[in-house]
Amino acid sequence: MLLPSLAIIIGLLLLVWSADRFVDGAAATARHFGMSPLLIGIVIIGFGTSAPEMVVSAISALDGSPGIALGNAYGSNITNIALILGFTALVKPVLVHSQVLKQDLPILLLVTVISAYLLYDMQISRLDAGILIAMLAIYMAWTIWQSLRHKNHTLPEELQQQKYMPLSKALLWLVIGLMLLMTSSQLLVWGAVEVAHYFGVSDLIIGLTIVAIGTSLPELASSIVAARKGEVDLAVGNIIGSNLFNTLAVVGIAGVIHPMQVESAVLSRDVLVMSVLTVALFALGYSFKQKNGYIGRFKGLLLLISYIGYNSYLFYTAI
């Protein structure tokens, strides 16, 4: 039991660190080869921030642990809204832009409904996975078109602060980051499966809790730093983007690698909670008096309580 526990801890720490190095290396490499700031922001950062979830779920699918793959994706979505946004709002009220309420949230809701429909037959076939990846491609193409239309060609703030990196160093970090992502994910998945077997709980429960929280650590860390600096304007938009990638790319990639049978609880419990939280995000962020809304400390506390309640139910039913 000691060895699997250490594997989870070391795997998570390496996963977070290597994902950061991978994004830095990929962005610097892309700039050396003339990729526009727009594509770097959407493609590199979009995939990079979801790299832990994608790699862990891919490794899980290859190892025949579909519960971890699905639990990681949907558990990360629940963690992003209830834990990360809740905690961030508790530190400092979060601004919800009107564009998020009118455009981004409805897209996330539509994607959630479609993914739930694909799960209705209790399996994710390669066709289902292909549909999810095709939806991701359409969403990214639409995002790029929107950004070009509004002339949004600036790099994300975290990359604007990045110092110049020689091509050789950028390629080195790109390769090292990717290799460590693979290795740490393998380590994390092995430890999670062993812990699940030791306690007699399903891979799904471990994926929804330990693995989901672990792969969401980059988002949690960046949200805490942003809250302390008073820069939480983009928190909701970032979470919506992350959830879209998790729902479409993470599940889609895992399903293409290995078609998965789905436990009935995924649809009746986890996707339901994820959907309710997504709708709640709209209700909590909407303002009747102002153009933009706010998620204040009380609403943040409600989100945190819902997260604690959900995880308490998971552990109660798992025992």
Question: The tokens of 55 are what?
Answer: 């790699």
Per mean pLDDT, which of 119-133, 154-168, 205-219 is the most reliable?
119-133
Contact yes or no for 181/19 (Cβ under 8 A): yes
What is the pLDDT, as a whole number, of residue 276? 95
96 CB-contact burial (10 Å; exposed 0-12 / middle 13-18 / buried 19+) = buried
What is the pLDDT, as a whole number, of residue 222? 67
What is the pLDDT, as a whole number, of residue 46? 62
CA dist 227 and 30 (Å) reads 29
Contact yes or no for 112/280 (Cβ under 8 A): no
Rounded mean pLDDT, 80-104: 85
Q: What is the pLDDT of residues 136-183, one digit of tens each?
A: 999 888 877 776 676 555 555 555 555 667 888 888 888 888 888 778
The number of C-alpha atoms within 13 Å of 47 and in the hemisphere containing its C-beta is 17
Global model pTM greater than 0.75: yes
CA dist 298 and 86 (Å) reads 9
pLDDT bin (cut points 50, 70, 90) of residue 116 is very high
What is the pLDDT, as a whole number, of residue 240? 84
What is the pLDDT, as a whole number, of residue 140? 84
What is the pLDDT, as a whole number, of residue 138? 92
Evaluate if residue 257 carries a pLDDT over 80. Answer: yes
Q: Which is more confident, 117 or 59?
A: 117
250 CB-contact burial (10 Å; exposed 0-12 / middle 13-18 / buried 19+) = buried
Q: What is the pLDDT of residues 66-90, one digit of tens each?
A: 888 899 999 999 999 999 999 888 8
B/e letters for 22-46, b = 16+ CB within 10 Å, e = fewer, are: bbbbbbbbbbeeeeebbebbbbbbb
Cα 208 → chain centroid? 12
Cα-only R_g, the chain = 19
Rounded mean pLDDT, 37-47: 60
What is the pLDDT, as a whole number, of residue 30? 73
Closest CA to 108 of 273, 243, 3, 257: 243
pLDDT bin (cut points 50, 70, 90) of residue 61 is confident
- Long-range contacts, 39-44 (Cβ 8 Å, 24+): 39/144, 40/155, 40/159, 41/147, 41/154, 41/155, 41/156, 41/159, 42/140, 42/143, 42/144, 42/147, 43/140
pLDDT bin (cut points 50, 70, 90) of residue 215 is confident
pLDDT bin (cut points 50, 70, 90) of residue 298 is very high
Q: What is the pLDDT of residues 226-256, one digit of tens each?
A: 666 666 666 777 788 889 989 999 999 999 9
What is the pLDDT, as a whole number, of residue 38? 54
Evaluate if residue 41 carries a pLDDT over 60. Answer: no
